[in-house]
Chain A
Amino acid sequence: MMPARLQRTLLTVAGAVVAVLLAMGISSIAILAAGASPVTALGAMFDFGDTQPEVVNALTFILNRAVPLFIAGLAVAIGFRMNLFNIGVEGQYRIAAIVAAFVGSQFVLPGPIQITLIIVVAMLVGGLYAFIPAVLKVTRGVNEVISTIMLNYIAVNLAAFLVRGPFAGERTAGKLTTSTPELPESAWFPNLNVLFEMFGLPAPRSGLWGFLMVAILLGVIIWLVLERTRFGFEVKASGLNPPAALASGVDAKRMVISAMVLSGAIAGLIGLPEILGRTHAYGSNFTAGLGFLGIAVALLGRNKPAGIAVAALLFGFLDRASAPLQFADIPPSVVAIIQGSIVLMVVIANEVTSRMSIRQEERRAARQLGTTQRAEVAA
């Protein structure tokens, strides 16, 4: 019955919109407290600039920021789907990124092969790093939240060591930061500036990362896996009702391991858009914190690929706003407050809307059955 599902979806969307509006309200208070005007702030956030190149650059910034966030959200969501809290996405992507960047710099092959190999290495490393907490959980009952947090510290520091030590490339004179050896040109992911040029727009300064295509493809694949395959069904069953899943022959241990490893493998991709698309090496100023943001993005997107995409774009949009806010004399930390309050509001809204939709469903069933039953009684 389509209307029921449509209603559920509409309710979800409405909940998210209300949550965002409430978050804006809360942030307005913060902005006022900072001595600025919320209206100016809002204006600044939506001000993409006056000239075409400025607008293109703004859009590119948003998309380039959204791509890794989207991947991070997907990685977290796979675990969340079965109540597995992979807090370790942060560590998994950092370690995967540096290993992939280093390995990729050690050989030169034709572009597609070179890039595919780097992707495979990143996924393998991320998956393996997530395999550790999975095994600990399955064999020794170690809570994955604790173990992944601990492994994050190890990963971050290990990556910092590797980039200065064994994996360090040659430092050009006058450069203060260290990084892995630069990737050969065959590993540079072509950008998507054609998309803008097709519409007669100027190409963005930084280039629209081609990894966007990989992310979209990944989203579709993850959606298929979660919504259409037997594995996805078992993930869903394990998340909704573990005892029932067990009684139905779902192997809980195998599910923990495969979901965790899959989550880690996807986490391994988070750093690649940046490395393949812009920096072409893992440096000490590599973007950090994407794994933690991924948790917020997954929550915001309700663990569904389409929702995660929207959430990632929203976060990208807010991140872009930091600079114009500064120009408008508003502290850019307002953006962090907005993001924080959006996540908080959305978590509340999710709970409220899911209860509402359950109640609605019950009422609908009762109503429809009530009419048929009454008819039977009358007959």
Chain B
Amino acid sequence: MSTSSDTPAVTPPAVKLEGITKRFPGVVANHDIRIVIEAGSVHAIVGENGAGKSTLMKILYGMQRPDEGKIYVNGEEVTFRTPGDAIAAGIGMVHQHFMLADNLTVLENIILGAEPAKAGVLDVKGARKRIVQLAGDHGLRVDPDRMVEELGVGDRQRVEILKVLYRGARVLILDEPTAVLVPQEVEELFANLRELKADGFTVIFISHKLDEVLSIADAITVIRRGTTVASVDPASTTARQLAELMVGSELPTPETRDSTVTDRVVLDVCDATLQGTGAKPLLSDVSFTVHAGEVLGIAGVEGNGQSELIEAIMGLRTLDGGRILLAEEDITAWSTLRRRESGIGYIPEDRHRQGLLLEASLWENRVLGHQTRKPARKGIWVNRAASRKDTERIVHEYDVRTPSIDTLALALSGGNQQKLIVGREMSGDPKFLIAAHPTRGVDVGAQAAIWDHLRAARAGGLAVLLISADLDELIGLSDTLHVIYGGRMVARLDPGQVTPEQLGGYMTGAIAEEKA
């Protein structure tokens, strides 16, 4: 099954990329990428979001074909047309967003697409034996008969890894594997990876979290603006040096320390409850207040009720119990439009889904959400001139890199799309802003700019509800930090004191509930 060679003299590198170039419109393309990945090592590829890591991995996994360059696996040149070719060559990919079917068992998920058959009949017994053996050999503990929907994030990731191993991969690509994990789970993952390495597997680890990279990798390649800029030895490199290689300039930090919190309550959520269709309520008795000039951060593993909470505040979901007050007015029964008109800004967690009309121009996107307010409206008409002018202002003030305001939103990079959204939501003097993952998938430059804007708005008296998976961002920006777990607020912490590990403990429910 495996293609790894046992040549004693010189082991050819597991993967070698030579001069990979991919011309790809819109985002940063790959340009002359050169990487040598030794067999039996953990090789990290780091670079900021949008540097071209994902494109490179898609090329290596056969999802896209390079315009130029060569790929060698175990010393042999290969051409991948489909992921199937890559799998056949022993390359497997663990995606950032898990691709598992919730309503199937672990075993069913693992064999899905590679079902073993004995005389045309599904060979479950043989499959189970192999999975148990694979899991035992590599220390990946999972129960093959559990439903995937019951599994936590860490377990799901192990299932993904097993799935790749089951297909006979000797080279594993892990795309931002720690993005969804809390610190404790990251440790577990690393233990698994070390074990895989010891068993002779090669791991390609893509990340932009430098401390993690330094602790796990045997070799590091830095990508910037679509090309490889350095190969470094983790033993003799600091996170700071690595970061500077990645960014090519000085680093931003999310710190805000001078408190601007006032005692004027802007948003008051009382006992918000949302039943949902499952047995467990999506939100139960969630209460908190956000003051003018305050950033209230909510930490939590994704899927613990954050999205539902945001949608309830925006009026996209109707609460089954509790109230929401905006500046002392009960808005529980208000429409989304009325909430927006009375000063709620919304940076959605998924900008492509809720924040933009990708196939419309930037100025039309400026109108979105403001279609009933000045400057976008004039009676029954859309005020095109004023909207365009105000879009010019946003493009200028928020440094949105675009050829023009008539460009379609889809042509912009993620960071520039997000800056446009931030600029739009900040216009019209909002009282309260929901910022859900405001810098997710955004490059470092845009991240710093967005943080600056949030800070400036906070100083100007804006109340901000910040939801983020980036713990540094949460700790750095928040004045008050709440933890949500299983639809409940389980802790209220001081961001000045808390460590990411403590936060992780609350987020996974490892540290028992403390009265908020």
Interface string of B342-381 (1 = CB under 8 A from A): 0000101000011111111000100111011000010011
- Asked if A363 CB lies within 8 Å of chain B CBs, one says yes
Nearest Cβ distance between residue A40 and chain B, in whole angstroms? 44
Given contact pairs A247-B354, A249-B369, A362 touches B404 in the complex (Cβ within 8 A): no
List the B side residues contacting A246 at CB < 8 Å: 316, 336, 354
Inter-chain contact A247/B355, CB cutoff 8 Å: yes
- Asked if A213 CB lies within 8 Å of chain B CBs, one says no
Inter-chain contact B336/A369, CB cutoff 8 Å: no
Interface string of B409-429 (1 = CB under 8 A from A): 011100000000000000000
Inter-chain contact B340/A361, CB cutoff 8 Å: no
Inter-chain contact A366/B26, CB cutoff 8 Å: yes
- Asked if B145 CB lies within 8 Å of chain A CBs, one says no
Which of the 9-residue segments A115-123, A138-146, A229-237, A280-288 touches chain B? A229-237
List the B side residues contacting A358 at CB < 8 Å: 359, 408, 410
Inter-chain contact A230/B382, CB cutoff 8 Å: yes
Interface string of A334-378 (1 = CB under 8 A from B): 000000000000000000000000110111111011001100000
Nearest Cβ distance between residue B338 and chain A, in whole angstroms? 8
Tier of interface size on chain A: 35 or more
Inter-chain contact A249/B364, CB cutoff 8 Å: no
List the A side residues contacting B358 at CB < 8 Å: 240-241
Alpha-carbon distance A208/B148, docked complex (angstroms)? 69
- Count of CB-CB pairs between chains A and B under 8 Å: 115
- Asked if A4 CB lies within 8 Å of chain B CBs, one says yes
The residue on A at minimum CB distance from B387 is A233
List the A side residues contacting B336 at CB < 8 Å: 246-249
List the B side residues contacting A49 at CB < 8 Å: none
Given contact pairs A229-B382, A234-B371, A249-B341, A365 touches B402 in the complex (Cβ within 8 A): yes
Nearest Cβ distance between residue B327 and chain A, in whole angstroms? 18
B residues contacting the other copy or chain, number (CB 8 A): 43
Interface string of A59-77 (1 = CB under 8 A from B): 0000000000000000000
Alpha-carbon distance A248/B335, docked complex (angstroms)? 11
List the B side residues contacting A4 at CB < 8 Å: 404, 406-407
- Asked if B8 CB lies within 8 Å of chain A CBs, one says no
Nearest Cβ distance between residue A38 and chain B, in whole angstroms? 38
Alpha-carbon distance A289/B403, docked complex (angstroms)? 47
Specify which of B339, B341, B406 is in contact with A1 (CB 8 Å cutoff).
B406
Nearest Cβ distance between residue B373 and chain A, in whole angstroms? 10
Inter-chain contact A365/B411, CB cutoff 8 Å: yes
Given contact pairs A247-B316, A361-B407, A372-B401, A229 touches B26 in the complex (Cβ within 8 A): no
Alpha-carbon distance A364/B25, docked complex (angstroms)? 8
Top 5 closest A-B pairs, CB basis? A249-B337, A365-B411, A248-B369, A362-B25, A362-B26
13 sample A-B contacts, Cβ–Cβ < 8 Å, listed by A number:
A1-B403, A4-B404, A228-B384, A229-B380, A230-B372, A230-B380, A241-B353, A244-B357, A248-B340, A249-B339, A361-B410, A363-B25, A365-B25
A234-B371, A369-B401 known; 6 other A-B pairs, CB under 8 Å?
Answer: A5-B406, A228-B384, A247-B369, A249-B335, A358-B359, A361-B411
